[in-house]
Amino acid sequence: MARPDKAAAVAELEDKFRSSNAVVLTSYTGLTVAQLKTLRRSLGENAQYAVVKNTLTKIAANQAGISALDDQLAGSTAAAFVTGDPVESAKALRDFAKENPNLVIKGGVLDGKALSADEFKKLADLESREVLLSKLAGAFKGKQSQTASLLQALPSKFVRTAEALRVKLAEQGGAE
Protein backbone atom coordinates (compact mmCIF):
# COMPACT_ATOMS: atom_id res chain seq x y z
CA MET A 1 0.00 0.00 0.00
CA ALA A 2 1.37 3.40 -0.95
CA ARG A 3 1.95 6.12 1.64
CA PRO A 4 -0.95 8.37 0.44
CA ASP A 5 -3.31 5.41 0.82
CA LYS A 6 -2.22 4.93 4.42
CA ALA A 7 -2.63 8.64 5.14
CA ALA A 8 -6.15 8.52 3.68
CA ALA A 9 -6.98 5.43 5.77
CA VAL A 10 -5.72 7.15 8.94
CA ALA A 11 -7.74 10.28 8.13
CA GLU A 12 -10.88 8.19 7.59
CA LEU A 13 -10.38 6.31 10.86
CA GLU A 14 -9.67 9.55 12.73
CA ASP A 15 -12.93 10.99 11.39
CA LYS A 16 -14.80 7.88 12.55
CA PHE A 17 -13.24 8.19 16.03
CA ARG A 18 -14.27 11.85 16.26
CA SER A 19 -17.83 11.29 15.04
CA SER A 20 -18.58 8.21 17.16
CA ASN A 21 -20.16 8.13 20.62
CA ALA A 22 -18.41 4.84 21.28
CA VAL A 23 -15.87 2.53 19.68
CA VAL A 24 -15.80 -1.16 20.58
CA LEU A 25 -12.75 -3.23 19.63
CA THR A 26 -13.19 -6.94 19.02
CA SER A 27 -11.18 -9.93 17.97
CA TYR A 28 -12.86 -11.75 15.11
CA THR A 29 -10.48 -14.67 14.49
CA GLY A 30 -12.41 -17.77 13.46
CA LEU A 31 -15.53 -15.98 12.23
CA THR A 32 -16.68 -16.58 8.68
CA VAL A 33 -17.56 -13.84 6.22
CA ALA A 34 -21.23 -14.82 6.58
CA GLN A 35 -21.03 -14.46 10.37
CA LEU A 36 -19.40 -11.02 10.05
CA LYS A 37 -22.18 -10.00 7.66
CA THR A 38 -24.77 -11.16 10.20
CA LEU A 39 -22.98 -9.18 12.91
CA ARG A 40 -22.99 -6.03 10.78
CA ARG A 41 -26.71 -6.47 10.16
CA SER A 42 -27.44 -7.01 13.87
CA LEU A 43 -25.66 -3.75 14.76
CA GLY A 44 -28.12 -1.84 12.59
CA GLU A 45 -27.73 1.66 11.25
CA ASN A 46 -26.29 3.10 14.46
CA ALA A 47 -22.92 1.38 14.11
CA GLN A 48 -20.35 0.51 11.48
CA TYR A 49 -18.29 -2.63 11.97
CA ALA A 50 -15.01 -2.86 10.10
CA VAL A 51 -11.79 -4.84 10.21
CA VAL A 52 -8.97 -2.39 10.98
CA LYS A 53 -5.18 -2.39 10.85
CA ASN A 54 -3.75 -2.00 14.35
CA THR A 55 -0.95 0.45 13.51
CA LEU A 56 -3.15 2.75 11.42
CA THR A 57 -5.92 2.60 14.02
CA LYS A 58 -3.50 3.45 16.81
CA ILE A 59 -2.24 6.48 14.86
CA ALA A 60 -5.80 7.62 14.07
CA ALA A 61 -6.96 7.18 17.67
CA ASN A 62 -3.99 9.15 18.99
CA GLN A 63 -4.65 11.93 16.48
CA ALA A 64 -8.28 12.00 17.67
CA GLY A 65 -7.05 12.37 21.26
CA ILE A 66 -7.67 8.78 22.34
CA SER A 67 -4.63 6.98 23.71
CA ALA A 68 -6.42 4.41 25.87
CA LEU A 69 -6.77 1.90 23.03
CA ASP A 70 -3.05 1.29 22.48
CA ASP A 71 -2.96 -1.87 24.63
CA GLN A 72 -6.06 -3.35 22.98
CA LEU A 73 -4.78 -2.95 19.42
CA ALA A 74 -3.03 -6.28 19.07
CA GLY A 75 -3.89 -9.37 17.07
CA SER A 76 -6.85 -9.49 14.72
CA THR A 77 -8.92 -6.39 15.41
CA ALA A 78 -12.23 -5.10 14.17
CA ALA A 79 -13.93 -1.95 15.42
CA ALA A 80 -17.58 -1.07 15.84
CA PHE A 81 -17.95 2.70 15.46
CA VAL A 82 -21.21 3.58 17.25
CA THR A 83 -22.98 6.81 16.35
CA GLY A 84 -26.33 6.03 17.99
CA ASP A 85 -27.24 4.53 21.34
CA PRO A 86 -24.16 2.66 22.65
CA VAL A 87 -26.31 0.39 24.82
CA GLU A 88 -28.09 -1.08 21.79
CA SER A 89 -24.80 -1.78 20.02
CA ALA A 90 -23.27 -3.27 23.17
CA LYS A 91 -26.30 -5.57 23.49
CA ALA A 92 -26.02 -6.62 19.85
CA LEU A 93 -22.32 -7.42 20.27
CA ARG A 94 -22.92 -9.30 23.53
CA ASP A 95 -25.74 -11.36 22.01
CA PHE A 96 -23.69 -12.18 18.92
CA ALA A 97 -20.70 -13.14 21.09
CA LYS A 98 -22.92 -15.55 23.07
CA GLU A 99 -23.92 -17.33 19.85
CA ASN A 100 -20.44 -17.07 18.31
CA PRO A 101 -17.72 -17.51 20.95
CA ASN A 102 -15.02 -16.62 18.40
CA LEU A 103 -16.05 -12.96 18.70
CA VAL A 104 -14.18 -11.54 21.70
CA ILE A 105 -14.81 -8.02 22.93
CA LYS A 106 -11.47 -6.44 23.80
CA GLY A 107 -12.71 -3.11 25.11
CA GLY A 108 -13.05 0.36 23.68
CA VAL A 109 -14.03 3.94 24.33
CA LEU A 110 -17.34 5.52 25.37
CA ASP A 111 -17.58 9.32 25.15
CA GLY A 112 -13.80 9.60 25.39
CA LYS A 113 -13.47 7.30 28.43
CA ALA A 114 -11.74 3.94 28.07
CA LEU A 115 -13.86 0.91 28.93
CA SER A 116 -12.75 -2.66 29.46
CA ALA A 117 -14.54 -5.68 28.02
CA ASP A 118 -16.30 -6.24 31.36
CA GLU A 119 -17.52 -2.64 31.45
CA PHE A 120 -18.98 -3.05 27.96
CA LYS A 121 -20.78 -6.17 29.15
CA LYS A 122 -22.24 -4.15 32.04
CA LEU A 123 -23.26 -1.48 29.54
CA ALA A 124 -25.04 -4.16 27.52
CA ASP A 125 -27.00 -5.17 30.64
CA LEU A 126 -28.47 -1.67 30.96
CA GLU A 127 -31.95 -1.03 29.72
CA SER A 128 -32.39 1.15 26.66
CA ARG A 129 -32.43 4.92 26.92
CA GLU A 130 -36.17 5.07 26.24
CA VAL A 131 -36.97 2.59 29.03
CA LEU A 132 -34.78 4.48 31.51
CA LEU A 133 -36.39 7.80 30.56
CA SER A 134 -39.89 6.35 30.94
CA LYS A 135 -38.99 4.98 34.38
CA LEU A 136 -37.67 8.40 35.36
CA ALA A 137 -40.87 10.06 34.13
CA GLY A 138 -42.93 7.53 36.11
CA ALA A 139 -40.94 8.29 39.24
CA PHE A 140 -41.51 12.02 38.78
CA LYS A 141 -45.23 11.45 38.22
CA GLY A 142 -45.42 9.31 41.37
CA LYS A 143 -43.74 12.04 43.44
CA GLN A 144 -46.16 14.62 42.05
CA SER A 145 -49.13 12.42 43.00
CA GLN A 146 -47.76 11.98 46.51
CA THR A 147 -47.28 15.74 46.86
CA ALA A 148 -50.81 16.43 45.59
CA SER A 149 -52.26 13.90 48.06
CA LEU A 150 -50.31 15.45 50.91
CA LEU A 151 -51.47 18.95 50.02
CA GLN A 152 -55.08 17.76 49.72
CA ALA A 153 -54.90 15.93 53.05
CA LEU A 154 -54.12 19.03 55.09
CA PRO A 155 -57.29 21.05 54.29
CA SER A 156 -59.48 17.95 54.37
CA LYS A 157 -58.12 16.96 57.79
CA PHE A 158 -58.71 20.52 59.00
CA VAL A 159 -62.34 20.41 57.77
CA ARG A 160 -62.95 17.03 59.47
CA THR A 161 -61.42 18.30 62.72
CA ALA A 162 -63.49 21.50 62.60
CA GLU A 163 -66.66 19.48 61.92
CA ALA A 164 -65.90 17.11 64.82
CA LEU A 165 -65.32 20.14 67.09
CA ARG A 166 -68.61 21.72 65.92
CA VAL A 167 -70.51 18.48 66.61
CA LYS A 168 -68.90 18.16 70.04
CA LEU A 169 -69.73 21.76 70.92
CA ALA A 170 -73.29 21.28 69.66
CA GLU A 171 -73.66 18.17 71.84
CA GLN A 172 -72.30 20.01 74.87
CA GLY A 173 -74.53 23.02 74.17
CA GLY A 174 -77.58 20.76 73.74
CA ALA A 175 -76.82 18.80 76.93
CA GLU A 176 -76.90 21.88 79.12
Sign of CA dihedral 37, 42, 45, 46: negative
Distance CA 101, CA 106 (A): 13
Instruction: Quick: pLDDT tens for 10-40.
Output: 888 888 888 888 888 888 888 888 888 888 8
* Reported pTM: 0.66
Instruction: Specify the pLDDT at position 40.
Output: 87
